[in-house]
Each structure stands twice: as C-alpha cells, then as structure tokens.
C-alpha cells in the first residue's frame, strides 16, 4: 500500500512540476513596398452587358493573360519612394501602403487596391465596375462593364 501511495505521490509531483511551455510568437515585420518594381505579367477577366427594357441585348466576357514578352505589353517600371511618391512613365503620384492595401492618388482621385508584397514580388489586384447609359438602336441601354486584373511585379 505504501508503494502505491509513494508512486501516486511521485507521479503527482512530476505532473505538478511540469510546466506547459509558452507558445513562441515570432513577429515578422512587414516588407516595405519602397523600391523599383518591374511588371512581369497581367491576368484578368473582363465582362460587359447591355440591357434594354430589362432584357440583355448584348454581352461578352473574356479571360486573358499577358507577359512582358507580348508585343502589346505597355507597362514600365514603377518606383515607390519612402516619402510616399509613386513614379511611373515620368508621372509622379502619391501613394500609401498599409497591410494589404495600396492607395494611389492620381489627379485628385483616390483608388484603393489589394496587394501582396514580399521581399522579391509585388502583386496588385485591380477591380472596377462601371455602369452607364447609352443609345442602342434608338433605345436607352444600360451598359455594365466589369474587370478584375492582377499585375505581378518583381523587385529590382
């Protein structure tokens, strides 16, 4: 009986002496967007629909991918400076970057885009929907155009 009691006492002391180790939290500082970026590819979807009196009279959708080797490629390097300036094609605009949000102000208009930055890559997602009216064969048509694009860049 004493052996069982001593064994139980020893086991309870061992369990009481064991301490759960604290989880180690490693804080990784955010990667800066500051630097020069070279666009390498653009992919996305685009759609349009024209509606007259509640009926769709015309529509299309397409998916595309372009790379810097394509003849139609028209993107140049983009530089983000530490003082909040974005320089591309000789134009300078202001920007801010926080977390996964890139905000660009161009000619007084502000656009907000989702983005991901690593030490070597930048991915910016553009999304836009526009609705307007236009004459379509003598009738007023409501035109809705939508596009979602992803621009991939590498750090210089």
Contact present, 141 and 57 (Cβ < 8 Å): yes
The token pair at 67 is: 């790379």
The token pair at 9 is: 């006492």
Contact present, 106 and 113 (Cβ < 8 Å): no
3-state secondary structure of 89: coil
Answer whether residue 3 shows pLDDT above 60: no
Q: 133 CB contacts (<8 Å, ≥6 apart)?
A: 140, 141, 142, 143
Answer whether residue 4 shows pLDDT above 50: no
Q: Could you tell me if residue 77 is inside a domain?
A: yes
Q: Could you tell me if residue 17 is inside a domain?
A: no
Q: pLDDT value at position 23?
A: 73
Q: Could you tell me if residue 60 is inside a domain?
A: yes
Domain of 65, in residue numbers: 31-155
Work out how many domains the chain is built from and give that number. Answer: 1
- 31-70: pLDDT as tens digits: 999 999 999 999 999 999 999 999 999 999 999 999 999 9
Q: Rounded CA gap, 54 and 59, in Å?
A: 14
Q: Rounded CA gap, 44 and 65, in Å?
A: 7
Q: Could you tell me if residue 102 is inside a domain?
A: yes
The upper half-sphere exposure of residue 107, i.e. CA atoms within 13 Å in the direction of its Cβ, equals 1
Q: Could you tell me if residue 45 is inside a domain?
A: yes
Q: Could you tell me if residue 10 is inside a domain?
A: no
Q: Could you tell me if residue 15 is inside a domain?
A: no
- Give the CA distances from residue 73 to residues 49, 65, 124, in Å, rounded to whole numbers and listed in that order: 27, 11, 17
Q: Could you tell me if residue 1 is inside a domain?
A: no
Q: pLDDT value at position 30?
A: 77
Q: Rounded CA gap, 35 and 80, in Å?
A: 5
């Amino acid at each position: 009986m004493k052996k069982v009691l001593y064994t139980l006492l020893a086991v309870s002391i061992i369990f009481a002496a064991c301490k759960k180790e604290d989880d180690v939290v490693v804080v990784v500082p955010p990667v800066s967007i500051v630097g020069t970026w070279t666009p390498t590819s653009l992919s996305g979807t685009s759609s349009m629909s024209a509606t007259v009196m509640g009926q769709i009279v015309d529509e299309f959708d397409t998916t595309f991918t372009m790379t810097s080797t394509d003849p139609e490629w028209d993107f140049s390097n983009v530089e983000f400076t530490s003082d909040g300036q974005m320089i591309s094609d000789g134009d300078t605009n202001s920007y801010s970057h926080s977390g996964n949000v890139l905000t660009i102000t161009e000619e007084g208009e502000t656009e907000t885009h989702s983005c991901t930055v690593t030490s070597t890559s930048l991915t910016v997602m553009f999304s836009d929907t526009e609705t307007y009216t236009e004459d379509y064969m003598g009738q007023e048509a409501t035109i809705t155009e939508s596009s979602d694009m992803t621009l991939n860049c590498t750090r210089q």
